[in-house]
Homo-oligomer: A and B are copies of this chain.
């Protein structure tokens, strides 16, 4: 057997591992080790490495056990020494927990088993030692259920099937006329255990395992298996976590928050995960186990007094009631509270990041169960980065790197219009669990949210509480509303992680799943009705409330300035109107990388002239129609150039196939025929003649300009005349005329000659001139392959990664949804290549194109104008191949700016 170390013990302020070893020990395991090393009280235990997980999937259970048995036994000895108890002992039993812990946090995704080591005899010993038989039998019945569900596979596959254990509990409640679990007597619990063991025997054909070690191995393997369960697989896909990372397993001595009123369990954040405020906060439950807090079944209490008061105000609870029913930890257990607060401060300072911790207080003693970097909203990311920079906790580069560019999107999302909000009717109020504004139609089931989203509907997912099974539906809903659960409930944590608007624990809402309605103050709201959520205030509003653009904080501006400082690439925008141009400029765009001219032809009367041009029989007819379009285009360009004054504007010549401009329904064709004084037959014949089997590969792009040179001529004239008109007004313009879809330099030359000849003609007519560039899109694979030839004449390249992806991969973006989802599901593709640049294939071509282009013109200006220009990993790629700029839609400009800066910082490492 290999001498590789596979088990890392920790406990009593010592540890085999440390916080740097996340790849091997998982995030939780590494942090448990690290906490020991910095003197924080952690229940002792050991971590089985992620490598063992990978081995397990190759070798299977038996061989894996053989591989780690000796190491595990040695580590267990150490735990027994520290806890002064023995695993499997009847008299002085040591109970253990088994938890997964992968490199990246995957909250609630995988399985956990608590209270390992119990059996009929041990439970008696435990009862005796703790003097708390109720606790001992409650732990035992919980253990059997957990183990049965997770290890023995008794958990029902679909939600409609009943959990056999839950069925027994319900039966017993009926028999005993009991309502709450807590009402069960010790004898009831004993009866429950008997029935639980019987159902295990009935369903699995085997007795429930009584041997502690058998229980341990079974649990370890089951947790490994849970790495491959559907939820985990989906979560990894959503969060781009490779499945070959595997999970580590943490086996730890049990500590109990449910040993009476001097025990508690809870979670805490070192800062506010929604707003980023430097405010220690968290929630706890007295006499409870950890899972109870997250599950949202009981409404948890705030740990700080300040937080508790704020909560009470939001919920309309007066101070007396609060003190009596919902006191803070600060009030109920001041000493453990103080220790917790100090530990949290230390942890944040140690990790230099906002921490999310789990703790248990057993009989007055505080144990830390976990610490990790806390999930937070985009806004919180920005605020925490800038605050920590100001506090001197982190340097500038770390601040820039600590914000996920994609998450800036949340800050740029619309918020409710201030006036509209005044008139909106508030239906209910819950916790502001995840900020943002969302309107949508009510749905009550996650799979409905998915179905409705597929039909293009916007939904609000309304649940009593959410669970990991709801993940997909939560991801596609516009917002999430729950009737129960606190700021750390599943709904709240997941929503913040997704940057999705969420109002949690709106207690006045009654959900009736069967009737598909929710009732607030006796008023019923049906599935499909519109509501709006304000995730920043916790308000639930009636109907669809108007939204507006948010004002950006000073923190945001400071972050952008920092990004600017470290970036190399420029960020431009894709914009077709002065309005879009101005928005992008406000966001810091340094020019337009793609101004599509075709959109300009659709509005109002323009489409008429455009159609006249298309329907013309010959060049003369086309020229006549183009003459009408010229002043319109010129005016459009003037508007855009003025909005972008002083900055370059890349104008792409007409690109889409002409059939996109003509009507395809007979009624519209009739109108068109009348307008143009033609017969319906003529119009139909022309429209038919424009039909193509594969328009994406058809008569479009520069192919139009080659066959109808007069179109290129008109567009070139409009651009140059617009620039000259502005020059007269003292406005500086830098037009860059871009030829689309070339596959060979001769196409480029053909178009370039028309453009230059036209420009020279206009210059002569006006007796004036401007500087301009002529360049080309690189979007056809052949253009990449011949980029050296193209670069001899073109003044700039702009990679059109949308088309390049289509042709390189042979995917039609309009059709790929027929198989792409299944491709991603089956792991054939990691991502949708239209969202995230396929660096392996398309990226290889881009690199080749850059190299070939620069081989003949070392200073060739190169950018990207496909939609990938605003996607962080793609921006990073663009930086790595040496592009001069990326261009993206206005709202993604800040994202691209941050990603561009991070690219420099990451690549200089």
Contacts and interface: CB of A to CB of B under 8 A. Distances in A.
B780 A810 contact: yes
Given A827-B746, A838-B782, A844-B785, A812 B694 contact: yes
Contact of A694 (B695, B746, B819): B695
Nearest to A845: B785
A858 interface: no
A692 B785 contact: no
Contact of A814 (B693, B747, B809): B693
Contacts of A815: 692-695, 697-699
A61 interface: no
A711 B247 CA distance: 36
Contacts of A841: 743-744, 781-782, 785-786
Interface in A132-162: none
Interface string A838-849: 101110110000
Interface string A592-613: 0000000000000000000000
Interface in A815-841: 815-816, 818-819, 822-823, 826-829, 838, 840-841
Contact of A822 (B706, B810, B814): B706
A881 interface: no
Contact of A810 (B697, B819, B828, B840): B697
Interface residues of A, number: 48
Contact of A706 (B746, B807, B826): B826
Contact of A699 (B703, B807, B819): B819
B694 A782 contact: no
A402 interface: no
Contacts of A750: 826, 828
A806 interface: yes
A353 interface: no
Given A699-B819, A707-B819, A741 B694 contact: no
Nearest to A805: B782
A803 B811 CA distance: 12
Nearest to A822: B707
Nearest to A828: B746
A810 B838 contact: no
A860 interface: no
Interface string A196-231: 000000000000000000000000000000000000
Given A786-B841, A810-B807, A819-B707, A747 B780 contact: no
Interface string A335-375: 00000000000000000000000000000000000000000
A696 interface: yes
Interface of A: 692-699, 703, 706-707, 741, 743-744, 746-747, 750, 779-782, 785-786, 803, 806-812, 814-816, 818-819, 822-823, 826-829, 838, 840-842, 844-845
12 contacts: A694-B695, A694-B812, A697-B811, A698-B815, A706-B819, A707-B818, A744-B828, A746-B829, A779-B810, A781-B809, A782-B838, A782-B842
When A and B form their complex, which 9 residue pairs have the shortest distance between CB atoms, in order from nearest? A697-B812, A694-B812, A782-B841, A693-B814, A780-B810, A698-B815, A692-B815, A699-B818, A694-B696
